[in-house]
Amino acid sequence: MPPKKRKASANVAGAAKSGRASAASTPGPATPRDIDSSDDPGSPDEPAEDEEQIQKAVDRFSLAAYQDKSKRGPIDAASRYFGDNGKRDFSYLPLKPDSKSRPIWIDPQRGRIILENFSALAEQAKDFLITVAEPLSRPTFLHEYSLTPHSLYAAVSVGLQPQDIVNTLDRFSKTPLPESIVSFIRSCASSYGKVKLVIKDTKYFVESNDAEVLQKLLKDPVIGPCRVQGTDTVTSAPSMGGLVIPGTSNAAGVQQAQLRQGQQSENAQPEADEKPQPENPFDALREDDDDDNQEAVHAFEILDTSVEIVQKRCLDIQYPMLEEYDFRNDDRNANLEIDLRPATQIRSYQEKSLSKMFGNGRAKSGIIVLPCGAGKTLVGITAACTIKKGTIVLCTSTMSAHQWRQEFLKWSNIGPQDIAVFTADSKQKFPGNTGIIVTTYPMVTQSGKRAYDSQKMMDFLTGREWGLMLLDEVHVVPANIFRKVSHSIKSHAKLGLTATLLREDDKIQDLNFLIGPKLYEANWMELSEQGHIAKVQCAEVWCPMTTEFYDEYLRTKDRGLKQNLYVMNPAKIQACQFLIDYHENRGDKIIVFSDNVYALIHVAKALGRLFICGSTPNSERMDVLDNFMHNPLVKTVFLSKIGDTSLDLPEATCLIQISSHYGSRRQEAQRLGRILRAKRRSDEGFNAFFYSLVSKDTAEMYYSTKRQAFLVDQGYSFKVITQLAGMDKMENLTFKTPKDRRELLQKVIVDTEAKRPLEDGDPTDDLFYTAGGRRKKRGVRRTAGTLGELSGGQDMAYIEQRKGANKALKKKPGKSAFFKKIGREKQRMKDLATQEE
C-alpha cells in the first residue's frame, strides 16, 4: 500500500503509531524521518508538512508499506475464506524444489513466520529466529514468530547485519523470500546502532560515529531543546578485545592457560634477565597507524530529566539508542573484587543469554527472559562478575532483596561487607569505594518527604555512577511510579530479568526505550525436556455450583456478590480439600493460591492449614515458610497474591489455585513458576502438578480461558477434569450438608452487603506494602433482616457489642511539668546535632 493512502491519520497530534487506533504514549513501530529529506527541520509555522513527513516515515517503516507485488494466481472458490477477496491466500507463492527439507513459511503481509518444529533443521532455525523475531506461540509441532522493528533492532544490537538476516531467512524458507520482507528488513536495520547513550562523569551524552546523524537529532524539534549548550565533544572510539564470561568452559580454559603462562614466565625469568630482547622499532609506528584509523565519536550532553523523552523520540524517528558500556576501559569507576566461585558452572542457555549481552566486548542494556526456576538470579550475578563494577539490584519486595543478597554470597566470592541492603528496616552502605546495593522499587520511587537516613541513602545512590543496574521482575518497570527508576539512578548498563514479558495493558513496549531490547528468550518446553525445570501436568477442575449458591448467583445483579459466590463455591472448597489430601498422602508439598483474601482465610481455617497474606508480620511469614520447607508435618500453605513473584520455594511440587485476578496471563505464568524448579522425583513423566479450580457455568470460566493463553503459547496443555473420583466417599468432607452450605451462603451475603472488602480484604495484601501504612477504622455495620431471621429462623443471630467501654482504661496518665521540660531539652539537643551534620 503506497504511503499516500495513509495521510488520513496525519492530523493526529504527536508521532502516530502504525497499526494502532490511538495515539497512546507507548511506542509502536519506530517512525524515522526520511534520510533523503532536506536538512531543514521545518519551522513552527508549517506543522502540516512536519506531520506529513512524519507520517511518510511511519509508512516507510511499517510492513504494511511493503506489500507483496508478486503476481497472484486465479481466485478460486476457496480463496474467499482467506481474508477479503482472497488477500490472505498465498498459494500463488512458488515452492522451492527442496521445500520439504526447509522448515519455515513466511507471511509476506504481516511478517509472521511459521516454523515446522518436526523438521531436521528446526533446531538451527529456532536459534536464528529467536534472535531476529518475536516468539508468539510455541506448541509441540508448529511455532509462530513475528518480524517487528523491535526484534530487528535487537538482532542488529547483537552484531547481525541486514544482509545476513536476509540470506539466512532465504536459506530456511520453503518459498523465495518475498520482496516485501527483504525491503522491510533492510529499511529497518539500516539506521539501527547509529546512536548511543553513554554516561560520563554522572552526565548523559548522546554519541554517534556519524556527524550527519547527530546534526539531524539536534535539528529535531523535540531533541534539540534537550541539549545542554556548549557540551559538544569529539573523541576516538575505544578498542574492543575478546571477552570471557565467568562460569563458562572458556573461562575455565583461560584460567588454566593463565596458570601455565605464569609458571612458564617464572621459569624463563632468569634467561630474560641475561639476554634482554631488543625492541621492535615498527611497533610504535603500528600504534600510530591504529590511532589514525580510529573512528571519531561525536557527542552532546542532554539533561537528566530529558533522557526518557530523547530515548522515546529517537525510537520514533528510527534511530533507537543503544546503551553500551565499555567497562574494561572505564578507569574512572573503581573495580569491584568479585568473581564466581570456582565450582560454579552456568548452563548452556544461561551462557547463550549472556553472550547476547557481551557479544562485542561491551555490556549492552537489554532484557533476558527465562522461565521461573531457570536461574535468572545466577544470570544477573554472572553479569555483575563480568563487569566488575558497582552494582545496584532492584527487587519487588523486602523478602526478595534478602534472597538476592544470599544468592550473591552463595554463588560469588564477594565479601559480606561489600553487599548491603537498603530497605525500610536496613539502611546500610558498603565501606569501600564500590560494592553492591540491593534494594526495592518502592524504596527508590517513594515520593514526598523521606526520613533522614533514607534521604541520605538516596543521595548516595543518585550521586554516583553505577556500572550495572539489575532489574528483577522487570515487567513492573513500565508502571508510572516505577518508570523513573531507570534514570533517577545513573547506571552505565541495565539488565532486566523476567519470566513473563507481558502485561494486560500495552505499556510493555515502553521497556524498549526504558531498558533496552529483548536480548534472549528461552523456550520453556525445551528446558523442561532437558531437565532444567520441572515437567508440569496442568489441569483445570470444573466445580459445579451448588443449588443454593447458583440460585443466588442467577438472581443477584451485584457484580461483587457474583464474584464472591463463585469464589466461595462449596464444591470448589471440597475439591481443594480432596486434592490437598491426595497429594499430601503422596508426599507432595502443596501451595494453595487465592487472590481473594476473604476466601483465603476462611478456607485455610476450615481446612486447618497455615496461611500468609499481606497483614501477616514478616517474622511470622519466615516461620511459616521455614516450616513448610523443612518440617515434614507442614505440607500445605495458603498464599495470597504476595506469593506470585520472587518467592523461592524449591520444595513445592503441587499448586492449587482457587481464586485469581480476572484474566491476568502474567499471574498464571508467575504462579506456575513457583513449582517449576527441577525436582528430584519423576512419576509417570511428571514431577509437578498445577490445578486451577473453576466454578462451572460462571464468569470464572471465561477468565480462566484468557489466563491460560500465555502458557498454551509456551507449549503447555490443560486437561479438563469434570469429576474427581472418590471425593464423595472422603471422610470429614467440609460443607457436606445443606445446612452447612446455607450457613456459608448467608455469611457470604451478609459480609458482601456490609461492604467488607472481600476481593482485596486487606489493604496490606500488596507486594509493595510498607508497615507504616495505617488501616482505616471500620465504622458501624448495619444489616437488614426480618424478625424471623433475627430470632434464628434463617441461621442468623442478633449480637450487640459495646466496643468503646474500655477506652477510658487506655488513657495514659499525664506527665509532670518537670519531665516535660527534660523532654523538650532532649529534643532541642537532637535538633542541633542534626543541623551540625
Three-class DSSP labels, 91-148: CCCCCCCCHHHCCEEECCCCCEEEEECCCCCHHHHHHHHHHHCEEEECCCCEEEEECC
Q: In whole angstroms, what is the distance from residue 261 CA to residue 268 CA? A: 10
DSSP state of 16: P
Residue 254 has pLDDT above 70, yes or no: no
**Model confidence band, residue 292 (pLDDT cutoffs 50, 70, 90):** very low
DSSP state of 685: T
pLDDT at 759: 41
Amino acid symbol at 820: K
pLDDT at 109: 82
pLDDT at 813: 55
324-325 and 321-322: which strand pairing?
Answer: unpaired
* Most confident of the following: 106-110, 197-201, 267-271, 284-288: 106-110
pLDDT at 486: 66
Record the pTM.
0.71
Q: Which of 3-12, 92-101, 292-301, 660-669 has the lowest mean pLDDT?
A: 3-12
Residue 12 has pLDDT above 90, yes or no: no
Q: CB neighbours (10 Å) of residue 747?
A: 14
Q: In whole angstroms, what is the distance from residue 639 CA to residue 636 CA? A: 10
Q: Do the domains 536-753 and 333-533 match in fold? A: yes
Q: CB neighbours (10 Å) of residue 417?
A: 11
Residue 438 has pLDDT above 90, yes or no: yes
pLDDT at 7: 38
Q: In whole angstroms, what is the distance from residue 412 CA to residue 470 CA? A: 16
CATH superfamily of 536-753: P-loop containing nucleotide triphosphate hydrolases (3.40.50.300)
pLDDT at 805: 45
pLDDT at 20: 35
Please name which of 140, 134, 141 lies closest in space to residue 717, comparing C-alpha atoms. 140
Residue 14 has pLDDT above 50, yes or no: no
Beginning with the edge strand found earlier in the chain, give each strand of the sheet holding 688-695 in spatial order. 610-612, 636-639, 590-594, 654-659, 688-695, 536-543, 718-721
Q: Cα–Cα–Cα angle for 463, 464, 470, nearest 5°?
A: 115
pLDDT in tens, 448-489: 788 888 888 888 888 888 999 999 988 877 766 666 776 678
What's the rounded mean pLDDT across residues 121-149? 88
Q: Which of 20-34, 540-554, 702-716, 760-774 has the lowest mean pLDDT?
A: 20-34
In the chain, domain spans: 79-189, 333-533, 536-753
Torsional class of 318: left (φ above 0), alpha (ψ -120 to 50), beta (otherwise): left
Residue 283 has pLDDT above 60, yes or no: no
- Tallying the residues shown for the chain, one arrives at 837
The mean predicted confidence, pLDDT, of the chain is: 76
* Most confident of the following: 356-365, 537-546, 793-802: 537-546
**Model confidence band, residue 691 (pLDDT cutoffs 50, 70, 90):** very high
> 580 vs 82, which has greater pLDDT?
580
pLDDT at 41: 34
Buried b (16+ CB within 10 A) or exposed e, 205-218: bbbbebeebbebbe
pLDDT at 26: 34
**Model confidence band, residue 830 (pLDDT cutoffs 50, 70, 90):** confident
pLDDT in tens, 88-129: 777 778 888 998 999 999 988 888 899 998 999 998 898 899
Helix runs in 136-207, H state only: 149-157, 162-172, 179-189
pLDDT at 167: 92
pLDDT at 638: 93
Residue 448 and residue 772 in contact, taking contact as beta carbons nearer than 8 Å:
no
What's the rounded mean pLDDT across residues 663-676? 81
pLDDT in tens, 165-181: 999 999 999 999 888 88
Question: Is 414 strand, coil or helix?
Answer: coil
Residue 180 and residue 96 in contact, taking contact as beta carbons nearer than 8 Å:
no
Which residue carries 517513594 as its cell?
446
Q: Cα–Cα–Cα angle for 788, 790, 793, nearest 5°?
A: 50
Residue 758 has pLDDT above 90, yes or no: no
pLDDT at 625: 87
pLDDT at 645: 67
Residue 408 has pLDDT above 70, yes or no: yes
What's the rounded mean pLDDT across residues 141-155? 85
Q: CA separation (Å) from 119 to 114, 279, 731?
A: 12, 58, 52
CATH number given to 333-533: 3.40.50.300
Please name which of 356, 17, 328, 354 lies closest in space to residue 158, comparing C-alpha atoms. 356
pLDDT at 473: 86
Residue 34: enclosing H or E segment and its boundaries?
Answer: none
Helix runs in 724-775, H state only: 738-753
pLDDT in tens, 308-352: 788 888 877 878 777 778 888 888 888 999 999 998 889 999 998
Q: In whole angstroms, what is the distance from residue 451 CA to residue 440 CA? A: 16
Q: Which of 152-166, 237-251, 723-737 has the lowest mean pLDDT?
A: 237-251
Which residue carries 546502532 as its cell?
193
Give the DSSP per-residue string, 531-577.
TSB--EEEEEEEEPPPHHHHHHHHH---HHHHHHHHHS-HHHHHHHH
Q: Which of 79-83, 95-99, 280-284 has the lowest mean pLDDT?
A: 280-284
**Model confidence band, residue 233 (pLDDT cutoffs 50, 70, 90):** low
**Model confidence band, residue 386 (pLDDT cutoffs 50, 70, 90):** very high
Please name which of 658, 695, 659, 694 lies closest in space to residue 546, comparing C-alpha atoms. 695
